[in-house]
């Protein structure tokens, strides 16, 4: 399938949000609260003439998606760039073309394409600041064979999601990272 065909297969942002069973309120909260500064908004508005589209590989259970999807969506609305969302696990053929470090099905992945479906930019799954924070928090999770693994993992992931909701510095980090990718 071409990128345009993947795009056509995807859900609009509203359909994606409506279909969510996990992290829906959190994602909607970030979308409603995030603000794009005027300088960046002006740069994004300049993208209108490019007629780009974005297909996003995501999943509602993903903490990184709960942070990044609403921020990138807000940016794309300013740029008037159409977005579509695909569930990662239902679209492994596409996902496996965008593995993180060549091995990991990390999400979200945002694939920016021109009007003809040519890949222009790819961003995801995290900004470097978010990556450092998550890596530090994951140090608290014991090895998978440890009897406390699952309980501790649940606690750590809950802390990460909670921090993503409260700390707008991570919102800014995502926005800055996407901006650097789009305008580099």
Distance CA 65, CA 52 (A): 21
Report residue 176's pLDDT band, with 50, 70 and 90 as the boundaries: very high
pLDDT in tens, 69-101: 999 999 999 999 999 999 999 999 999 999 998
Distance CA 41, CA 96 (A): 32
pLDDT in tens, 118-160: 999 999 999 999 999 999 999 989 999 999 999 999 999 999 9
Q: Which fold has domain 3-125+174-182?
A: Glutaredoxin (3.40.30)
Pairing of strands 53-58, 82-87: parallel
What average pLDDT does this structure show over 105-114?
97
Q: Which among 71, 67, 68 has a CA at the least distance from the CA of 35?
A: 71
């Amino acid at each position: 399938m071409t990128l345009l065909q993947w795009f056509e297969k995807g859900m609009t942002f509203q359909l994606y949000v409506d279909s969510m069973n996990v992290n829906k309120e959190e994602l909607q909260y970030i979308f409603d609260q995030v603000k794009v500064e005027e300088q960046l908004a002006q740069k994004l508005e300049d993208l209108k003439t490019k007629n780009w589209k974005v297909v996003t590989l995501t999943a509602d259970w993903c903490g990184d998606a709960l942070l990044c999807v609403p921020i990138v969506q807000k940016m794309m609305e300013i740029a008037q760039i159409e977005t579509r969302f695909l569930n990662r696990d239902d679209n492994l053929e596409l996902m496996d073309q965008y593995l993180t470090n060549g091995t990991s099905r990390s999400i979200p992945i945002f694939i920016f394409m021109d009007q003809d479906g040519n890949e222009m930019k790819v961003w995801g799954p995290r900004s470097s600041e978010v990556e450092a924070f998550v890596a530090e928090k994951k140090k608290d999770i014991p090895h998978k064979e440890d009897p406390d693994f699952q309980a501790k993992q649940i606690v750590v992931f809950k802390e990460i999601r909670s921090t993503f909701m409260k700390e707008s510095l991570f919102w800014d980090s995502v926005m800055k990272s996407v901006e650097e990718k789009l305008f580099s």
